[in-house]
Structures are given as C-alpha cells and as structure tokens.
Structure 1
Amino acid sequence: MADRWSIVTECDMLSRAGVLAQALSAEYVTYVVGPSAMLVIAEVGDRPDGNAVQSFDGLALREPFPEAAAARLSSAGPPLLGFVRVPEGYVPLGRLENTVSRYKPVSIDGSPWPFSGEGELTWCQLRLAERMPFDVLDQVRPTPEQPLPTLDWLRFLPDDPMAALRDFVAGWYADIPADDDGLDAQELELPEPLLVFYRAAAGRREVFGLHNQIYTADELEYEDDGRLQFGAENQGVFAMLLDPTDADPVVQYDGLHAEQEREPLSAFLLQFVLCEASYSSPFTGFATVTEEQARLLVQPLHRVPLQPMRWPGDPTRHYVTDGLVVTTAAAPDGSIEVYAGSRHRSALRPLRDADLAWERFDG
C-alpha cells in the first residue's frame, strides 16, 4: 500500500483538527470540529444506505447531523479531512469536498414553505480529492460476496423475448415482492407483450424505469391518429408509441433522431429493462471509452442476442453475466459510453480489472 494511504495513529489524526477540538458522535461516524480542520471519521464497513465510504472517490453522510458538524459541512470554512477507523488505526482519505447536499425545510416562525434559509441538512456526498486505489478501498469498505441472479433467462433468446423478460425480472428483482397486476379488472385491449411486461413489473416500480419510463396502464395516452403512447424519455425529449391493434407492434419514436426501433415490442421491452438495470440499479459504473477498450471490457461477458437499440446511442448493445448488466452506446464522436449496473455491489468487482478511467464506479 502506498505511503499516502498508510495507517496513522489516533494522536496523529486528532492533531490535524487543531487545539480544543470537539468530538461529536453520530451513527457509524465521528466528527471532530476544530479550528484547523473538521475531521470526518467513518467506521469501516459497507453500508450503502448509511454513513460510510461508498466508492473509490466518495463518502456519503446522512442525518441526523450534530449541529456544529452540519454547520461546517454547509459552509466554506476550514478544510474537511476524512479518515476511516480500522482495527489497526485510521486510514487517511485526505481532503474532502462537499459536492452535493440535501436539505429539508424547517420553519422557525411557523410560516409556510417557501421561506428564507437553507433548511436542515439531511444528506451530503463528500468527494475525495484523490481516488483510492482498490486495495485501500477494500480495506475501508470490504465488500461481501453474495449469491447473484443467474443467466437462466438468456436461454429463451432470441426466440422468446417475453419469457426472457419474465425470468429476468423475477431473478433481478427477487428482493422486491411481486404484486397483483390488477389488469383483469381493467379489461385492457393491449398487445400481449405490453401485458406480459405489466404482469412482470407488478409491485416493482423500478421495472417501469427510474431513468426513462414505461407508463403504467392508467398512464397510457392515445394519440389522435390511434397510436398509443406507452413511454417517454426522462425529460420528455422523445416519446415511445405503438399501434395497439398489432400483436407485436413496431416501437415508434416521436422526437428521437430515429423513427422506430429495430426489434418489435416484445424484444424492445426486455432491452428497456436491461438499459434501466445498467443505468439505475443501486450499484453502477459509467465510463467513456474507445472501441477497443469497450471490446476488451465486454469480452468475458455474454452478448444479449438481439438487434442493437437506437438509444442512448446507435448502436446500443447489452452484455451480461450473473447479476450484472453492461450497456454500450456509440457516441457521435466515435467514443463508446459504458453503463454497468447491479443490485449487488460484488457483481461489479470483475470490471475493476478493465483499464478504464471510470467516471463513476460503485464496485
């Protein structure tokens, strides 16, 4: 391990805060507020929803915050210095920067929102000035191995994409209980692939998309020409439409550079779900790479045997292994955007070996 990341003693660490520093405890983190610096001392461990190191360059903090710590995190005062307490001592993370903060409104005089003032700090993301090497990351945020969803669903392709969709959703979202789809009572006259999607997604809001969106049955919109708008891009840039009288209709676009998708609705809905898995899962990675780097990255993975999509780039392809979906999308400048996603942090670990400059990586 490089000297930069070598363990320090408690005495050495505390000296960096300055004299008469005040120690304030919260869940899995201690704040030491001093005249020279505020120390943020996290406990070792992998806590995706708690106070902990989350990635090679990020540390997340959540409420409740001691008042003095919240004030320092919300101001441009003395520097923030990060540490992680391990059995041998303290691993220095170096200088931290508060890059994103969230607040909840707090009214002092009872006046309704909006009112003057920032409110009460509820969450913040601290960015490391220097990224941790992966061996240091494993020391401060050890990642347990977990059983991963298998690739059994892949055997249905390319002949039966609806069966593949059902099996993928059941395995990928096994931790989210399925629910009654309620479709029978609505007597919907819709293409069978869309009904299959609704039944697979019932009770699992994530399947409808956290980035782009497939509409729920009560959100469907009919156009004047009889076409059905069944989804949209997350900022409304383009809409997805189909002919509801077709058994497996062509997916059409309004507002996109392309008029329609290559695959029909049955396969497109699986591709949509795979895209969302790579963009919006709890653990993700993103990088912009060359064609050769992308080729090497996906070489150990299984290519999903469907025609490429037209967004977010054309072509867009999917590659998978147990518990992991990787999407590659061609950019206009010839580069390749890589999106990787999993519901299990450990599934991203094989991508560490790729010689990529990940802009974001949670593995």
Structure 2
Amino acid sequence: MSGPWSVATEAEVLSRAGAQAQALPAGDVTYVVGPSATVVIVQAGDRPDGSAVQNLEELTLQEPFPEGIEARLASSELPLLGFVRLTQGYMPLGELRLAVSHHRPGDMAEDSPFPYRLPAKPSHCQLHIVDRLPFDVLDRARPTPQHPLASLDWLRFLPHDPVAASREFVAGWYADIPPGVDAPGDLDRPLPEPLLAFYRAAAGREEVYGLYNQIFSADELEDEDDGLVQFGAENQGVFVMLLDPTEVDPRVQYSGLHAEHEREPLSAFLLQFLLSEASYSSPFGGFATVTAEQAQRLTEPLRLVPLQPMRWPGDPTRHYVAPGLVVATATSPDGSVEVYAGSRHRSALRPLRDPGFAWERFDG
C-alpha cells in the first residue's frame, strides 16, 4: 500500500515522537512519549470491548493507562499520532484527537484516617481519527470476523401469527445469549396472551425488554385509574404504552405521543418493538438522515416486514431485514428519513458500506 497509509518500520514510528522517546506498553496498546509527539500504537484486530480501531473515525482505548498518559492524550501542545501494528510493520492512522474520556473512582487511600479517595483514574478513552480512513485501510486495522447470521425463518409466520414470529426472531437474533427458565410468575392480574408469550420468549435475556425504549417486566406493570395498564415506555419517559388487559389482542395505546394508538395490535406491535430495538440498540449499527429516494435505494435489496408501519420514531416507520440485519426507516414531517441499521455481528453490515450517502455513524 502506498500513500499516507504506507507501512512504516518500528524505528520510523519511534522517531516521530522525538529523541529519547519512551515506550510504555499497556496491553494491546503501546504509548510512545517524546519531546516531539505522543504516539499511540494499537494492535490490529476486532475488539469491540477492547483497545482497537472501531470504525472509520474512532480509536478506542481501554485500561490500563500508564501514569500521566491521560494528560498527554488531552494535550494540544504536541501532535497525537496513531499507528496500527501489523505483522509486516506499522500502518499510520494519522493525527488523533481526544473525543471522550471516562473515569472510575480512585481507590481509598491506605493508612489514611480520613475517608478520602485517590484521584479518579481513566478507564476508557475515545480518540477521533482526524482523516477518515478508507474501508480498505479499516479492514487491515480491524479485520472483520465472519459469524453465522440469524436467519429469516421467522418471516414465514407473518402476517398471520406474529406471536410465533416474535418467538422465532428472539431465538435466532439472541442465539448468543443462553435462554433462561424465568416465567412471568404468579400474576394477580389478567394479561393478554401476546404479552405473556413475549415474557416467555424474553426469559433470561434482559436485552429483549429493550436497551433504548422498554417493555416492562410483569412486576413493573403499572395500573391506570381507567383500567388500562402501562406496559412500556419511551427511554426518556416522553410517552408510555398502554393496553386493556381484558382484551385478547388489545390495541396499543399511547399517552404523551402525537398518536393515540398503533396501527397493529399488541401481538404484531411487540414484534415491531423487537425489530426497532434491534435496529438501533444492537452492538453494531449505523445511522443517517437521508432523502426518501436514498432510503428506497438502501432498502431495495432487503425484505420488507409485512406489517403496517409503526408511528414512532417517525410516522411511518417501516422495517426491512436480511440475515443478521434489521433496518428501520422513520419518516419525519419534513420528508427526510432517519435510517437505523443494527446487527449483533459486524459482518452483517458490510453490504451497507456504500449506500450512496454518508453515514453519520457506521460500525461495519
């Protein structure tokens, strides 16, 4: 590879930090501190929860951090330069800038008569890669492993049996999370079978209840004065979801939303909730605001889920799927479309790398 990402030797990398630079190894990262620059060298590889290049614009650093390195990362006085260690040498990432730094509380001071803690220590840093990487460079810095992807067998139940579709979707999408044996328990209220089936499918898998918006567990349900039951809520409490517990497959009603109720009944709505969460709360994903034409081109190769569109986060909101992938399109009042793409495996996002628009966030 030629150009700005040409592989360099170790001596060339160390020279960028200046004379008598000091190398500080720390797990998958080596920090080189010198009078001319601070150099961050990370081992190539895909480590979503570790120190690694995460996407075209982000390098994540995790503990341990050598003493004093946080001040170097945050300093604007000297250049902060990134490199990836490959088998054949060191590939430059260019200039870096500290974007986010998280800390954990310091330990209690030993032999101190006072309950004072030592200063907080950095636990996690995100560095912004100033010059966005090309995908071929990203693939060398963060090679993407291949995993078996969740199938689309659950689609065969639609539209006639959304409860079975939800059960099969959960079993496939969350196959990496062992199911539990939790049951709804002894309920002192009647509940519709679609909600009970949701609880059975979610047993042992907290993620199913939602990491962004939420479906309440059986012991979190709240009764309203009019006999309705709150069974879910938007993540900031802007609106809540209500149902009539005496109905077999009740209408999903809202309090606090622009719409009074959903188009689909509870049985299908719960599947749509699962798909929405998969699209914007999965470990890997993408987001962009695009035109209707751009959204149509993106979703053409995908399969449309044959249910009436949801009313949030935009009205209409539709879901499209491929093996291991869920895409939601939410239309705004001005005609623009928010696109959310989610997967539990990074490799499922690769077909979306060149959609004809710029992703605002993309992990594939």
The verdict on a shared fold, with TM-score over 0.5 as the criterion, is: yes
Sequence identity of aligned pairs in percent? 67
Three-state SS of the structure 2 residue aligned to 1:349 is: helix
The equivalent of 2:294 in structure 1 is: 293
Q: Is 1:211 equivalent to 2:179 in the alignment?
A: no
CA distance in 1, matches of 2:115, 2:225: 42
Does the Cα contact within 8 Å between 1:33 and 1:68 map onto a contact in 2? no
Q: 1:50-85 CA distances to partner (integer Å, 9 max, x unpaired)? A: 111111111111111111323323444423211101
Unaligned 5+ residue runs, structure 1?
none
Give the C-alpha shift of residue 254 in structure 1: 0.7
Q: Distance in 1 between matches of 2:161 and 2:113?
A: 59
Query: Match of 1:96, SS?
Result: strand
Matching residue of 1:13: 13
Cα distance in 2 between the residues matched to 1:86 and 1:304: 42
Determine the structure 1 residue equivalent to 2:327.
326
What is the CA RMSD across the aligned residues, in angstroms? Answer: 1.7
Q: Secondary structure at the match of 1:295?
A: helix
Query: How many Å apart are 1:110 and its aligned residue?
Result: 7.4
Partner of 1:231: 232
The letter for the 2-side match of 1:253 is Y
Distance 2:274 2:14 in 1: 49
1 CA distance for matches of 2:118 and 2:151? 52
Q: Structure 2 CA distance, aligned partners of 1:221 and 1:347?
A: 38
State how far apart, in whole Å, the 2-side matches of 1:157 and 1:77 are: 60
For normalisation by structure 1, the TM-score amounts to 0.95
How far does residue 355 in structure 1 lie from its aligned partner after superposition?
1.4
Q: CA shift at 1:16, angstroms? A: 1.4
Given that 1:229 and 1:242 are in contact with CA atoms closer than 8 Å, whether structure 2 keeps it comes out as yes
Tell me which residue corresponds to 1:84. 84
Q: Is contact 2:38-2:72 (8 Å) kept?
A: yes
Structure 1 residue 154 corresponds to structure 2 residue 127: no
Following the alignment from structure 2 to structure 1, what is the Cα–Cα distance between the partners of residues 115 and 260? 47
Asked if the contact 1:58/1:125 (under 8 Å) is kept, the reply is: yes
Alignment of 1:345 onto 2:346: yes
SS in 2 for 1:230: strand
Post-superposition shift, 1:140? Answer: 1.0
1:100-136: CA deviations, max 9, x gaps?
12111115467668x795x110011111111111111
Shift of 1:5: 1.9
CA deviation map 1:177-227 (0-9, x unaligned) = 111222243465201111011111111111111101111111110011111
- Contact preservation (8 Å) 1:99, 1:127: yes
Structure 2: gaps (5+ residues): none
Aligned-pair distance for 1:285?
Answer: 0.6
For residues 141 and 110 of structure 1, the distance between their equivalents in structure 2, rounded to whole angstroms, comes to 49
1:243 aligns with 2:229: no
Deviating 4+ runs (over 4 angstroms):
74-77, 107-113
Question: Deviation per CA, 1:266-291, whole angstroms, max 9, x where unpaired?
Answer: 00000001010011111011111111
Of the structure 1 ranges 159-168 and 175-184, higher mean CA displacement relative to structure 2 is found in 175-184
Distance 1:80 1:148, change over 3 A: same
Change (3 A) 1:111 1:174: farther
Kept after mapping to 2: 8 A contact 1:60/1:126: yes
One-letter amino acid of the structure 1 residue matched with residue 210 of structure 2: G
How many angstroms does 1:353 deviate by?
2.6
**What corresponds to 1:95 in structure 2?**
95
1:1-363 aligned at under 5 Å gives the runs 3-106=3-106, 107-108=108-109, 119-186=120-187, 188-363=189-364
Q: Check the 8 A contact 2:21/2:33 in 1, yes or no.
A: yes
Q: Secondary structure at the match of 2:219?
A: helix
Q: Deviations over 1:301-330 (max 9, x none)?
A: 000000000100011000000000001111
1:4 partner SS = coil
2:169 partner letter: F
In 2, the alpha carbon distance for the partners of 1:110 and 1:47 equals 42
Moved more, 1-10 or 25-34: 1-10
Report SS of the residue matched to 2:17: coil
Count residues in correspondence.
361
Partner of 1:183, secondary structure, is coil
Change over 3 Å in CA distance of 1:111–1:207 after alignment to 2: farther
Within 2, Cα distance between the matches of 1:111 and 1:325?
53
Give the letter aligned to residue 30 of structure 2. Answer: T
AA of the residue aligned to 1:40: V
Aligned CA distance change for structure 1 residues 2 and 277 (closer, same or farther; 3 Å): farther
Distance 1:297 1:131 in 2: 22
**Equivalent residue of 2:270, what SS?**
helix
> Residue 137 and residue 244 in structure 1: after superposition, are their counterparts in 2 closer, same or farther (change >3 A)?
same
